[in-house]
Chains A and B, each alone.
Chain A
């Protein structure tokens, strides 16, 4: 597939990705942009699958709706419950998938491991091999999670990566980096912010950000 945009291909040159997606493509936000080869392939495959009776348009729409319904708000509810309920926290750390199902979070067959931050330990999640992410809990991953730079550097220089995201940890904090796989997804349970004693789960959930559950961020402060 040739590029449909100007792009330097000098051997070994560093590409400028300014204004481009992490993979070097311009964004295509709307459906009225020029049709691409791969979009044609998607339409063709979808139609063939429907015609051959493997699926139908309604089922595809339902699957998109299910995925759209998942968002970091689900993870935030999970974290807030863990902050609020010590017994639930124990169950979450012991078996993340079971704890999600206990809250009626539709995580499918995903095997989830919850790792907890404290004053002494900070956890960071990456997928060096591809883009494995707790998508059934947090929704689809942000683009930066899939970039070469994040995948390469997170396991090599995590403190520098964290500083880039605005998280400057004390030197004596232990940093643990978790490399996800297709079979095992991690979610970070950030440390509960001080000054939130007596808060309700709903109030606590509002402090939990997506990045705080990946480990590249900290929860909001009250």
Chain B
């Protein structure tokens, strides 16, 4: 019996063992076993703002670090590949604030449409 050649294991060992995707310790199957990418970047203003919003929302009791992590962990392994770090954070902050009734989905949707109409760059959209 011939098996098709397998490039990498599509299911990380830790998931196969019933661990959740964010629990990466020790799983060197697939991407986890490769060299550690060492390139870095300076945080952009929008990333710093997301960090600041998370800290302030925590201090004001609008959400908790546990709440942030709950949503991040529920996002699943795809999010780690398709979204940046602070993109995952703002998605989680949003989910927590919606659940907490800080604003409604309608308020958010309306505002996001208005923001997007202001311009094609972050600077233009944030300056309105």
Q: In the complex, which residues of chain B have a beta carbon less than 8 angstroms from the beta carbon of A55?
A: 53, 56, 60
Say yes or no: B24 contacts A43, CB within 8 Å: no
In whole angstroms, what is the CA distance A86 to B85 when docked? 40
In whole angstroms, what is the CA distance A212 to B123 when docked? 37
Size class of the A contact interface (CB-based, 8 Å): 35 or more
Chain A, 144-187, CB within 8 A of any chain B CB: 144, 146-157, 161, 164, 179, 182
B121 contacts the other chain (CB 8 A)? yes
In whole angstroms, what is the CA distance A150 to B25 when docked? 9
Judged by DSSP, the binding face of B is helix
Chain A residue, CB-CB nearest to B98: A45
- Give the residue of A24, A31, A42 whose beta carbon is less than 8 angstroms from that of B90: A42
Say yes or no: B84 contacts A25, CB within 8 Å: yes
Say yes or no: A152 contacts B25, CB within 8 Å: yes
Distance between A36 CB and nearest chain B CB, rounded to angstroms: 8
Size class of the B contact interface (CB-based, 8 Å): 35 or more
Say yes or no: A23 contacts B80, CB within 8 Å: yes
Contact with B along A122-135 (1 / 0, CB 8 A): 00001011110000
Say yes or no: A143 contacts B41, CB within 8 Å: yes
Say yes or no: B51 contacts A31, CB within 8 Å: no
- Give the residue of A47, A129, A157 whose beta carbon is less than 8 angstroms from that of B111: A47
Q: In the complex, which residues of chain A have a beta carbon less than 8 angstroms from the beta carbon of B87?
A: 1, 36, 38
A221 contacts the other chain (CB 8 A)? no
